[in-house]
């Protein structure tokens, strides 16, 4: 279950009408989920989100970027999500066996976040490819709406909720890096302050005793570094840098991550998932003139090489993890296309198909180097 700000907090009658349209569009689609059989909110399905976006057109008054846009140029942002309550979807302590019913409940509960990020990153990519400030105005408005609505700053009701906040924060921050060049000083100030608050809240999770600093920690590093660039915060940049060093130190001489090998049948999957965060993080380091691939005698290159070998022949990880790997193995998203762009000589023909887009990567991750190269410093 997710808590949102009041529907009229930013757009008044326009968003109230959008909410009515969304409820009318899908009133019959309410489903119970979770142990308390809580109903999902009427607009949470994709049909309702579509109704919301099509019927509500409004402008965020405090965001100067979009005041001059025609009333129907930009659909209203979904209401900011404040609290997150998500169930864990594994049925074993190692996190190696997904329970289908729990996964279904998780996806239903997270749907408003998923839809928001999918729409946001698609708009950010379109603006980046076109190098068009007018196209950037709408996703900037959406981010500012969530910033002013204190999104992701409420109660995280479970460890899974904390992880979700970190991933979604990463996607928003990376999308914003593509858009920042088009943002006004007013919007930059609003978004920067919010990203810092959410990043600091996400970091507190790892301060508690017993928290595993595995791939989740690496994702926290990507979120912190992206926030550092987005908000011109050297403190958060340095946090991302330290976490990259932690990750490099975790990689063994054989290119494996011990904490991910402990995931038993999903060890290879989680090596790839770690790279989904670490390769973009290394590219952010490159933006500051630092070679994070070289840390610990090329640890990240070793990790890439071992993971690629495993993806081509999962039986290798059957032995490394001492457990048969889940098949088919999911190679994750984005990291290989981005790595290939920068290190084609090391990859050759990987013979692995991998999507270059994911919401937690801010959309198309291969657009990140272009966005970073043109990033304003203020």
pLDDT at 371 over 80: yes
Cis peptide before 328 (omega within 30 of 0): yes
Burial class for 348, CB neighbours closer than 10 Å (0-12, 13-18, 19+): exposed
Which range is least confidently modeled, 29-38, 271-280, 312-321, 334-343? Answer: 29-38
pLDDT at 247 over 80: yes
Mean pLDDT score across all residues of the chain: 83
Residue 194: name the closest of 161, 141, 145, 125 by CA: 145
pLDDT at 279 over 80: yes
Predicted confidence band of residue 253 (pLDDT cuts 50, 70, 90)? very high
- Give the pLDDT confidence score for residue 106 in this predicted structure: 81
Q: What value, to the nearest 5°, has the Cα angle with vertex 48 and ends 6 and 68?
A: 65
Containing H/E element for 307? helix 295-312
- Give the pLDDT confidence score for residue 101 in this predicted structure: 83
Q: In angstroms, what is the C-alpha Rg of the chain?
A: 21
**Which tokens hold the place of 119?**
């729409």
Residue 108: name the closest of 3, 4, 23, 33 by CA: 33
Whether the Cβ atoms of residue 113 and residue 168 lie closer than 8 Å to each other? yes
| Mean pLDDT, residues 65-81 taken together | 69
Whether the Cβ atoms of residue 158 and residue 86 lie closer than 8 Å to each other? yes
Q: Please report the domains of the chain, with CATH numbers, ordered by start residue.
A: 1-211 (1.50.10.100), 214-378 (1.50.10.100)
| Mean pLDDT, residues 210-232 taken together | 96
Predicted confidence band of residue 91 (pLDDT cuts 50, 70, 90)? confident
pLDDT at 11 over 90: no
Cα(322)–Cα(181) distance, rounded to whole angstroms?
49
Whether the Cβ atoms of residue 135 and residue 84 lie closer than 8 Å to each other? no
Residue 181: name the closest of 319, 375, 20, 17 by CA: 375
Cis peptide before 163 (omega within 30 of 0): no
pLDDT at 180 over 60: yes
**Which tokens hold the place of 285?**
């380091």
Whether the Cβ atoms of residue 347 and residue 353 lie closer than 8 Å to each other? no
Cα(54)–Cα(68) distance, rounded to whole angstroms?
20
pLDDT at 210 over 50: yes
**Which tokens hold the place of 376?**
């304003």
pLDDT at 174 over 50: yes
- Give the pLDDT confidence score for residue 179 in this predicted structure: 97
Backbone φ and ψ for 310, nearest 5 degrees, come out as -65, -40
Q: What value, to the nearest 5°, has the Cα angle with vertex 235 and ends 64 and 226?
A: 55
Which range is least confidently modeled, 26-40, 149-163, 206-220, 343-357? Answer: 26-40
What DSSP state is assigned to residue 154?
S
């Amino acid at each position: 279950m997710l808590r949102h700000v009041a529907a009229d907090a930013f757009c008044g009658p326009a968003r109230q009408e959008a909410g009515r349209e969304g409820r009318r569009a899908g009133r019959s689609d309410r489903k119970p989920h979770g142990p308390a059989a809580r109903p999902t909110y009427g607009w949470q399905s994709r049909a309702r989100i579509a109704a919301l976006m099509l019927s509500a057109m409004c402008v965020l008054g405090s965001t100067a970027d979009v005041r001059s846009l025609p009333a129907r140029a930009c659909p209203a942002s979904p209401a900011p999500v404040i609290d997150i309550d998500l169930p864990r979807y594994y049925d074993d302590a190692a996190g190696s066996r997904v329970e289908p019913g729990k996964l279904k409940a998780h996806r239903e509960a997270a749907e408003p976040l998923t839809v928001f990020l999918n729409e946001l990153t698609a708009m950010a990519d379109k603006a980046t490819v076109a190098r068009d400030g007018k196209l950037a105005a709408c996703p900037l408005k959406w981010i500012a709406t969530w910033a002013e609505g204190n999104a992701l700053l409420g109660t995280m009701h479970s460890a899974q909720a904390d992880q979700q906040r970190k991933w979604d924060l990463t996607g928003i921050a990376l999308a914003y890096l593509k858009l920042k060049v088009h943002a006004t000083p007013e919007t930059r100030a609003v978004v920067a302050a919010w990203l810092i608050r959410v990043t600091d809240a996400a970091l507190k999770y790892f301060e508690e005793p017993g928290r595993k600093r595995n791939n989740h920690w690496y994702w926290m590093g990507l979120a912190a570094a992206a926030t550092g660039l987005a908000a011109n915060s050297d403190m958060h940049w340095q946090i991302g840098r330290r976490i990259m060093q932690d990750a490099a130190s975790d990689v063994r001489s054989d290119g494996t991550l011990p904490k991910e090998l402990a995931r038993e049948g999903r060890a290879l999957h989680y090596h790839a998932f770690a790279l989904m965060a670490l390769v973009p993080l290394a590219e952010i380091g490159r933006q500051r003139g630092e070679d994070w691939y070289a840390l610990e005698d090329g640890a990240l290159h070793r990790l890439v090489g071992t993971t690629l070998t495993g993806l081509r022949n999962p039986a290798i990880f059957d032995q490394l993890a001492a457990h048969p790997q889940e098949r088919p193995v999911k190679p994750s998203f984005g990291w290989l296309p981005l790595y290939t762009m920068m290190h084609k000589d090391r990859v050759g023909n990987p013979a692995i198909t991998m999507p270059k887009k994911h919401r937690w990567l801010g959309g198309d991750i291969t657009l990140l180097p272009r966005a970073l190269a043109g990033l304003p410093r203020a």
